[in-house]
Amino acid sequence: MKRLIVAANWKMNKNVPESIVFTERLSKNLLNLRRTDIILCPPYTSLFNIGEILNKTDIYLGAQNMYFEASGAYTGEISADMLKSTSCQYVILGHSERRHIFNESDDLIHKKLAAALETGLKPILCIGETLEERQSGRTVNILKKQYVAAFRNLSESQMRNCIIAYEPVWAIGTGIVATPEQASEAHKEIRSLVASQFSYKMATEMAILYGGSVKPENAAELIATDDIDGFLIGGASLVEEQFVSIADTVEDYLAKQEK
């Protein structure tokens, strides 16, 4: 059975001591997960310390961003190799906040993705539309544009090391959640893009996560929706009880599917 994924994006939250205490508690509460992969993406400052804790667990470490150059005069930036040296295995790229607050272009995101893959990191590539784009009926066009720009020229073996996260910008941190129908439609569209570029088999095996105000209250309904392979969680990942509850919900769903 396909493993599902619950990834935590802490964004600019939790200093080093807070991150250590939180991760030590959290890892103990996730010991019984056998079917679900957990990825924690803390701020850069906590990567090394969190990596040391997670090395003793089955939980994976990810970063929230990186630059595409290997080294050089890029003040304030972090390279893929630097992330690898902290035990990072994943990196979030193209998050809507990077696109819309820091004005990252599709071309820059593609360069980052290529550099991550070259270094052996697994990208979690985010795509999604704004409220205005959805209301004007441009959701499909936006998803295709961002997908094609990010994954152009990739081989199938490279694509197998990628995860896609659909995050409707209008649902991130707003408390508004895409309905199961809206999420399913978007995920089906993304999966069809993978199938067109590679194959139907590749598309069915591709992990496509949903991100956008996921909470314990809506996790069960969303994870049971067609084509959703897990979550990229923001606010709820900062609260131990909420994140564990969502992870348990995904694990319970998979356990029922096995019966």
Start-to-end C-alpha separation, the chain: 11
Chain-centre distance of CA 247, in angstroms?
14
Residue 86's contacts (CB-CB under 8 Å, 6 or more residues apart) are: 47, 48, 51, 61, 63
Look up residue 157 and give its amino acid: S
Mapped onto helix, strand or coil, the DSSP state of residue 63 is: strand
Give the integer Cα–Cα distance in Å for 32 and 47.
24
236: nearest Cα among 11, 82, 5, 33: 11
Catalytic residues: 95, 167
